[in-house]
Every structure is written in structure tokens, then in C-alpha cells.
Amino acid sequence: MRPLVLLALLAAAASAQPAGLDSLLTAPGAPALSDDARVSLLTMLPGEEVYSLWGHSSLRIHDPASGLDRTYNYGTFDFEQPGFILRFVRGHLDYMLDTAPFDLEVAKYEFLQRPMIEQTLDLPPETTRELFRALEENALPENRAYRYDFIWDNCSTRLLDMVDAALVATGHPATTLPPAEWERTYREMLGPYTENHPWLDFGTNLGLGLPTDAVAQPDDQTFLPLALMEIADGATVGGRPLVAARDTVFWVPQTADARAMPWPAILGWLLLAAAVGGTIWMRQRLRSDRLRRFGARLDGLLFGLAGLAGLILVLMWVATDHRVTAANVELLWLWPTHLVAAFWLSGLRPGTAWRRYALAAAVGTALVVALWWAWPEPMHPAGIPLALLLAFRAAMRSRLPG
């Protein structure tokens, strides 16, 4: 269970990339822009690898008069940061603004076979200059780092924030975003990106807490690059469309992936069926200590894994700065105390107190499954059979030693 949660967290860096050669190839000076300079929003479509599932966004500033053609990317990080993995897991990882020549950016995504869409923004010359100044200042070594947040402060949300800041600084209103076509939670917005990666989808849903079940307002939906692209198309500045033109920089034919088998749910139901069948079979056999001991150890393993998963979810809530993992409703059935109970329930005679504990776990977990429709956090299809398995075996251990 722990690898699933960590995998979900690592996948949260989907639009990030290691800092490297790009920043070294940028011209060190910041030339004055002409009135012909243009700002574009670049959107790179999702790739096939886990780290690229959510797509990516960056800004481009192009001034033919000065020869400037530069991209600004808030999605880079440095693997050489001290304690990189621990900082990432705890939500303490700093991301950086990186710059690169536009042609190098195009070559990179052509190599990765990820199409690039460009939206030219209709900004006044003074706003373009202010945005360029702010981005160049932000790209300085002492300013380029920021504390990354998967939803509320990432490589996609920062772009519109920078545009709005430049508009306001030059006496113009900030962008007005179009109303959402329908209400969607953050979790619902993330779902389509992971549905063809069943284990990642299960781990992500298991690790996300109640904050992701709030309805995402239009300005909050910009955390996803593709959503930002669509929202920008409908945005206005002082009544005028924000996007003046939309073009395809390059395209790669997209093939529809075959629907992935929901293996986590399938395996969950198979485990439940095996547990029920095995319990019936064992109770029809002679009550040998060997069979009873084997069953008790399996129960101990089951409760131990459930308790470990619950402990990780608690730590992700209280011991990290990841807001998306707070207040996780999965803790209603993944009790961290199961980790302690596992030692007693793996014995042949756990004692009255632990049998009562098992009864409480059975009733509580069964109620969670029965009433999950009333909770704001939906239960993943793979979680239902696993919770029922836990409730079933807890009920058995509350009645008999084996």
C-alpha cells in the first residue's frame, strides 16, 4: 500500500522536469522589447509516461525586432537538492522558473512526441513589457525557487497569475474567466488522466483527502494545463478576448488507448471470494491447530497491511505540507490501530478485548461501505472489496479464535 501512495505523490510532479541545460542556453541579458513583442501560452499535451500524464504549460515571449524568443517554465526541480526524496514526500520541495530558447523547447517536445498548442495573448505593449520584466526578475537565481503545491501553486497556475499581475501593474483589469460548464471537484478533474493507469488511479484516490472533493472554481481549475488552455480561450480582459489566435506548433497523431483492465478492483474481489471460500472450507475441516494458525496469520497480515496504510495516510495528513492529503476519509476503515491489533489477532486466542476490537472493526468498516454514498469522498471501486474483506475477517475473528 505504501508504494501506491508514494507513486501517487511522485506522479503529482507530472508536469515537472529536472533543471539542466535549458537554463544555461538562455541569453543572460534582457533586451528592451518592441511594440511588436507577443506573449503566448504554450500547452504540451500529455505523454505516455506517468510523469507526463497531466500535460505541461509554459509562457513564450517573442519579439522579432530584438530577436528574443524565449520560454518560461515553472515546472523544473533539482534532483541534487539535499534530501530530495524526503523533501518531496513532506511537501517541502522547491520548484523553479527555468527559461529556454523557443526552438529548443519545440525540439524537446517533438522528440518526446507530445503535441504543442500555442495561444497568442492579446496584451497591450506595456503589459507585455511588464510581464517580461517580471519573468526575467523571477528567473534570477535568488528569485527562481518557489514552494510547489500540486493544485494551488504549480507550473500551470503561476502563468495566469503572472499575466494578471502584469495587467494590474499597467493599469488594466485582471482577466475575467468564463463560468465553468459544469461543477467538478478536483478529484473528478484528475480522474480522466489516470483512468488508464489502474494502480496509479487507485493509489492517487487512496492518498487524496477531502480538500480535493471541493468544487473547483474556474480560477482553481487552471492547475491542469489542458483546463488552463480551454479556460484561456474563453477569458476576457476588459471585455476583449484574452486569446487573439490559437495555433498548433506541431502535431503528432494521437492513438486512443485500449481501456485498461481495472486490476486493483478485480484482484480485490478475487481476494474477497478466496477469503469467503477459504473460511467455509477451513470450517468444514477438522479443527487442526495448523489450519487455525495459518488462518490467524493471514488475518494478522491483513490487519497489518490495513494498519500500515492507515498510518501512512495519517502521516501524509499531519506530518507533511501536502494540502491534498489532509482529512482523508479512507481512515474511517483503514485504522492505524490495526497495525497493533495485527499482533494479537494473528494468534489462536487473541483474548476478549481484541475480539471486541475486531467486532468494532467489522461493524465500523461494514457501515463505511454501506453508507459511503453519503460521504463527500467517493470510494474507489478497488477499495470496496478490500474493505468488505477486512470487515468479513474481522467479524470471523470476533466470533471464533480461528
The model's pLDDT over 154-185, given as tens digits with 9 standing for 90+, comes to 999 999 999 999 999 999 999 999 998 888 99
Q: What angle do CA 123, 128, 133 make, to 5 degrees?
A: 155
- Could you give the CA distance from residue 89 to residue 262 in angstroms, rounded to a whole number? 27
Residues 334 and 305 both lie in one domain:
yes
Among 264, 247, 150, residue whose Cα is nearest residue 203: 264
pLDDT of residue 123: 98
Segment 277-296, tens digit of pLDDT: 988 887 776 566 777 788 88
Residue 257 in any domain: the answer is no
Q: Specify whether 280 is located in the same domain as 230.
A: no
Residue 135 sits in the same domain as residue 282:
no
Q: Are residues 332 and 240 in the same domain?
A: no
Based on the domain organization, do 309 and 346 belong to the same domain? yes
The answer to whether residue 341 is domain-embedded is yes
Question: What distance in Å separates the CA atoms of residue 366 and residue 83, rounded to the nearest whole number?
Answer: 41
In this predicted structure, what is the pLDDT of residue 7? 41
Residue 188 belongs to a domain? no
Same domain as 80, residue 26: yes
Q: Quote the pLDDT of residue 51.
A: 77
Write the secondary structure of 277-340 as one string of H (helix), E (strand) and C (coil). Answer: HHHHHHHHCCCCHHHHHHHHHHHHHHHHHHHHHHHHHHHHHHCCCCHHHCCCHHHHCCCCCHHH
pLDDT of residue 15: 44
Residue count (the chain): 402
Q: Does some domain include residue 168? A: yes
Tally of domains in the chain: 2
Q: Do 300 and 152 belong to one domain?
A: no
How would you classify residue 100: left for phi > 0, otherwise alpha for psi between -120 and 50, otherwise beta? beta
Asked if residue 237 and residue 268 are part of one domain, the reply reads no
Point out the domain boundary residue: 250, 273, 291.
Answer: 250
DSSP helix, strand, coil percent of the chain (3-state; round to 5): 50, 15, 35
- 241 and 104 within one domain: yes
- Are 245 and 269 found together in one domain? no
- Owning domain of residue 34: 2-180+217-250
Domain contains 283: yes
301 in a structural domain: yes
In a domain, 124, yes or no: yes
**Residue 302, domain member (yes or no):** yes
Verify that 333 and 239 share a domain, yes or no.
no
Q: Is there a single domain that holds both residue 25 and residue 173?
A: yes
Residues of the chain below pLDDT 50: 1-15, 18-28, 401-402
102 CB neighbour count, 10 Å cutoff: 19
Q: What is the pTM of this model?
A: 0.86
